């Protein structure tokens, strides 16, 4: 992987390996991961891994359609889940080694955290977040379906279906840890050891081993440099007042975590061509939904596991006339006849608070009279939000720090105590417009310019349209 500071040979923490006894290793299976080295899987975890529900993750690419632009981005949710399992174990072992007596961490806690790490993404939909955030809202108005809740439901189904002998309290705690992300909250039933809920899906401040793994893994797969080193945070974190806290001197390392994540969103996850392909996949799924009844799978865990990225192959190889429109869209992607990116603009900072998503109808209403008349089906709009996990707020303000290992006080670091070289704005809102038909690029681009002038009084386009590029060449 490129980048002078990126560790391509990240291996298991020595402290983690020390606590895995030879007795444990005799009954464990190990796999070699290209990010974390050897990962040891105890029998209880293998019972979950060796199910069709978990193996489904092999057919879910971690980055959806990004491999169409970054050819190396073909890693799966399966690899990522094993990585999060590994880091969850390392994190809880680090805390046990440093504060074991004080925190009363026992084998039940360790196993539960690792189980949450292993299964946190088992309910994820096809094509990364596209399925949940872009496809379902188009076919199920007002849908509140989430992959986190499906993960919780699938875990119960797996335990029942495969007769896994595990304590119900352990399953309940692991499920709560999966739901402890920013969209949810710490469970009301949790009265002690709340710091354990900070490890896998941290809803308090966004620092968790899920991000540690995908930032390193995604950067490597896409051939990008990465100078965020999560090991430093893992080795120095400490629990104060039932919360994982970090040394104040490490605030720049933490900022690098959020900045690297934002860079991945900007350069990979929301790359203009990646979004063009994703918009086409969404349209293909919407067209196919009535015939394939895709949405019927999302409420039933016994059927949901059958839904994965291979649905594209199902659509493009099916002879059914009902799937012709969807099939044609997939064929266009194969032949690189993509929706044409027309242009983009960044929403001014002072307009972010009251910004409403721009729609195709907004662009059509800005078209001047005369010439070709645009229809809603001619235009695709992508409203891209990129932030540091806390919207327009500084993420460091929600993190608790400590001065040194002798201190018992935790505190946050406000904006005025942070380096002035760090950003003063923590969110970007970018509006991109695409023409679904190559011959309409010029017309759509002009209507988009008119929309900007009407909305903000400026024309802030920074890219040459594909049509002008061709004329220049």
Contact between 414 and 397 under an 8 Å Cβ cutoff? The reply is yes
**Is the distance from CB of 394 to CB of 426 less than 8 angstroms?**
yes
In angstroms, how far is the first alpha carbon of the chain from the final one?
A: 34
Q: Are 212 and 230 in contact (CB under 8 A)?
A: yes
Q: Per-residue confidence at 470, pLDDT binned at 50, 70, 90? A: low
User: Residue 274 and residue 129: Cα distance in Å, rounded?
Assistant: 13
> Strand, coil or helix: what is 77?
helix
Alpha carbon distance 306, 245 (integer Å): 41
Q: Is residue 145 helix, strand or coil?
A: coil
Tell me if residue 39 falls in helix, strand or coil.
strand
Distance (Å, whole) CA 445 – CA 433: 8
* Residue with more model confidence, 11 or 76: 76
Q: What is the pLDDT of residue 3?
A: 37
For residue 443, give every residue at least 6 positions away whose Cβ sits within 8 Å of its Cβ, in sequence order, or none.
367, 371, 372, 374, 435
Please report which confidence band the pLDDT of residue 19 belongs to, taking 50, 70 and 90 as the band edges: very low
User: Can you list the domains of the chain with their CATH numbers?
Assistant: 14-260 (1.10.3210.10), 339-388+426-473 (3.30.70.2760)
- What are the pLDDT digits (tens) for 49-81? 999 999 999 999 999 999 999 999 999 999 999
Among 325-339, 381-395, 416-430, name the one with the lowest average pLDDT.
416-430
Single out the catalytic residue among 36, 75, 147, 271: 147
pLDDT recorded at residue 473 = 46
- Write the pLDDT tens digit of every residue in 378-422: 999 999 998 877 666 778 888 999 998 888 899 998 877 766 556
Q: Is the pLDDT of residue 160 over 70?
A: yes
Instruction: Give percent above pLDDT 90 in the chain.
Output: 71
Taking residues 139-147, what's their average pLDDT?
Answer: 91
Lowest mean pLDDT among 25-29, 264-268, 306-310: 25-29
- Return the pLDDT at 113: 98
pLDDT of residue 419: 63
- Tell me which residue of 387, 386, 390 sits closest to 275, measured CA to CA: 386
Tell me, yes or no, if 147 is annotated catalytic: yes
Kindly give the interhelix angle for 209-221 and 251-264, rounded to the nearest 10 degrees. Answer: 50
Nearest Cα neighbor of 383 from 349, 429, 342 is: 429
Six token digits for residue 131: 């399925």
Q: Helix 147-161 crosses helix 107-119 at what angle (to 10 degrees)?
A: 110
Distance CA 33, CA 217 (A): 10
82 or 190: which leads in pLDDT: 82
Average pLDDT over residues 365-369: 87
What does the alpha-carbon distance between residue 375 and residue 361 come to, in Å, rounded to a whole number?
Answer: 8
Our CA angle for 180, 97, 245, nearest 5°, is 45
Give yes or no for residue 14 having a pLDDT over 60. Answer: no
> Does pLDDT of 16 surpass 50?
no
Give the CA-trace dihedral at 358, 359, 361, 363, to 10 degrees.
Answer: 50
């Amino acid at each position: 992987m490129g980048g002078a500071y990126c560790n391509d040979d990240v291996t298991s923490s020595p402290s983690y390996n020390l606590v895995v006894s030879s007795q444990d290793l005799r009954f464990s299976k190990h796999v070699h991961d290209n990010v974390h080295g050897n990962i040891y899987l105890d029998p209880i975890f293998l019972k979950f891994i060796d199910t069709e529900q978990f193996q489904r993750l092999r057919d879910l690419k971690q980055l959806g359609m990004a491999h169409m632009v970054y050819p190396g981005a073909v890693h799966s949710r399966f690899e990522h889940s094993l990585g999060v399992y590994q880091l969850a174990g390392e994190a809880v072992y680090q805390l046990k080694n440093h504060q074991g007596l004080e925190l009363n961490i026992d084998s039940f806690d360790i196993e539960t955290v690792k189980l949450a790490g292993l299964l946190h993404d088992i309910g994820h939909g096809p094509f990364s977040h596209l399925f949940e955030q872009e496809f379902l809202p188009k076919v199920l108005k007002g849908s509140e379906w989430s992959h986190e809740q499906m993960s919780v439901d699938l875990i119960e189904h797996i335990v029942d279906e495969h007769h896994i002998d595990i304590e119900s309290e352990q399953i309940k705690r692991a499920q709560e840890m999966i739901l402890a992300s920013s969209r949810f909250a710490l469970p009301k039933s949790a009265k002690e050891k709340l710091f354990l809920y900070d490890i896998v899906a941290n809803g308090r401040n966004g620092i968790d081993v899920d991000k540690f793994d995908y930032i390193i893994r995604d950067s490597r797969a896409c051939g990008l440099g990465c100078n965020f080193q999560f090991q430093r945070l893992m080795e120095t974190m400490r629990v104060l007042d039932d919360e994982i806290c970090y040394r104040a001197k490490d605030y720049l390392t933490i900022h690098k975590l959020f900045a690297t994540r934002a860079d991945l969103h900007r350069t990979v996850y929301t790359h203009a061509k990646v979004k063009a392909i994703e918009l086409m996949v969404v349209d293909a799924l919407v067209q196919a939904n009535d015939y394939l009844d895709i949405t019927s799978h999302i409420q039933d865990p016994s059927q949901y596991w059958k839904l994965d990225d291979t649905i594209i192959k199902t659509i493009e190889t099916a002879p059914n006339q009902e799937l012709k429109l969807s099939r044609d869209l997939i064929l266009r992607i194969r032949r690189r006849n993509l929706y044409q990116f027309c242009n983009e603009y960044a929403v001014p900072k002072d307009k972010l608070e009251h910004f409403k998503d721009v729609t195709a109808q907004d662009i059509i209403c800005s078209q001047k009279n005369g010439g070709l008349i645009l229809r809603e089906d001619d235009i695709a709009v992508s409203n891209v939000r990129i932030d540091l996990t806390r919207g327009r707020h500084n993420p460091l303000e929600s993190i608790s720090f400590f001065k040194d290992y002798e201190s018992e006080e935790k505190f946050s670091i406000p904006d005025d105590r942070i380096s002035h070289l760090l950003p003063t704005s923590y969110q970007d809102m970018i509006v991109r417009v695409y023409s679904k038909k190559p011959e309409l690029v010029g017309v759509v681009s002009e209507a988009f310019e008119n929309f900007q002038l009407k909305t903000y009084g400026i024309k802030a386009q920074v890219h040459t349209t594909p049509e002008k590029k061709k004329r220049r060449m």
